[in-house]
Amino acid sequence: MQNYIRKRAVKVAHYIIKTSNTVRQTAEIFGISKSTVHKDVSERLPRIDIKLAEQVKEVLEKNKAERHIRGGEATRQKYAASSKEVSS
């Protein structure tokens, strides 16, 4: 594994732990794809630092468990905004 990939994987992991951001949000911040973030933290990171990988996994599992709530909230806001436009 190239050194810059190793450094990026660790940097991404620390960022996810610090902010509890989703893979999508993290990818946007780092300017890389969601697939790259996921591969960094799920495949590469365990070979670099297993304890760090476990901490990231906990955050990502929490985000996954909550994603239906975020999706429902986004839908609610979408329809609330469109109903305001109709009534105006």
Domain containing residue 77: 3-87
Q: What is the pTM of this model?
A: 0.76
Number of separate domains in the chain: 1
Q: Check residue 28 and give its pLDDT.
A: 97
* Helices and strands in the chain: count of H runs, count of E runs: 5, 0
Angle between the N-to-C axes of helices 3-19 and 23-30, in degrees from 0 to 180, rounded to the nearest 10: 130
pLDDT (tens place) for every residue of the chain, 88 residues total? 899 999 999 999 999 999 999 999 999 999 999 999 999 999 999 999 999 999 999 999 998 888 777 777 778 788 888 776 666 5
